[in-house]
Amino acid sequence: MPINRLEKLLEFAAQEPNDAFLKYALATEYLRLEETDKALAYYQNLTKNHPDYVGTYYHLGKLLETLNQKQEALAIYQTGMDVARKAKDQHALNELMGVFNTLNDELEE
Residue 1 pLDDT exceeds 90: no
Average confidence (pLDDT) over 84-89: 97
Longest dimension (CA), the chain: 52
What is the pLDDT of the chain when averaged over all its residues?
95
3-class secondary-structure state, position 34:
coil
Domain containing 32 equals 5-108
Tell me, what's the pLDDT at 3?
A: 56
What are the distances in angstroms from CA 32 to CA 53, 85, 100?
20, 29, 23
What are 17-67's pLDDT values in tens digits?
999 999 999 999 999 999 999 999 999 999 999 999 999 999 999 999 999
Q: How far is the C-alpha of 69 from the C-alpha of 73, rounded, in Å?
A: 6
Domain containing residue 45: CATH number: 1.25.40.10
Average confidence (pLDDT) over 85-101: 98
- The DSSP 8-state label assigned to residue 3 in this structure reads P
Which pLDDT band, with edges at 50, 70 and 90, does 2 fall under?
very low
Tell me, what's the pLDDT at 109?
A: 86
How many domains, the chain? 1
pTM score, two decimals? 0.91
Which pLDDT band, with edges at 50, 70 and 90, does 90 fall under?
very high
Which amino acid is located at 6 in the chain? L
- The DSSP 8-state label assigned to residue 60 in this structure reads H
Please name which of 21, 13, 14 lies closest in space to residue 46, comparing C-alpha atoms: 21
CA angle 101, 104, 109 (to 5 degrees): 125
